[in-house]
Amino acid sequence: PDPLALADGLQARGPLFGEELFAHERRGDWARTARGWLPLTLNGKTRLLVLEEDEVQQAAAERLQGELEAAREEAAAARREADALRAELQAERLAAVSEPAYRGLEGWSASEPAGGARGRYRGPARGEAS
């Protein structure tokens, strides 16, 4: 087989003069069409012109603006929820620190011993049943 014939068959055929193609995607100087990826410029010369309708652009801009506003509102709601959860967690931690687990135990004393620890547990007196 002739390698040049194979190479010609692998390349996407460009549009005819004056033919308009719909681009599904555009990245840099390349546009993806139904025929494949086509260069917008080749050897520094513009080969394909990008024609965009103002109405299409305006509709897309309005749609994107609406999506952006919705995303901003969602982010603000998430921040408010995170702040509320953070405050609730802080209140729970404060309550856990100020109400030790041994406070309900019989014989608990709130006096401060010489070692500086707050409160201590005294076991039952001699002869008392526990």
Question: Model's pTM, two decimal places?
Answer: 0.36
The CA distance from 100 to 108, in Å, is 11
pLDDT for the residue numbered 62 = 87
If one counts the domains in the chain, the total is: 2
Tell me if 114 is assigned to some domain.
Answer: no
Q: Please name the residue ranges forming H helices in the chain.
A: 3-10, 54-98
In a shared domain, residues 45 and 67: no
Long-range CB contact pairs, 29-37, < 8 A, 24+: 36/12, 37/12
Tell me if 82 is assigned to some domain.
Answer: yes
- Each residue of 73-123: pLDDT tens digit? 999 999 999 999 999 999 988 887 776 555 555 555 555 454 445 555 566
Measured in degrees and rounded to the nearest 5, phi and psi for residue 46 equal -70, 125
In a shared domain, residues 46 and 29: yes
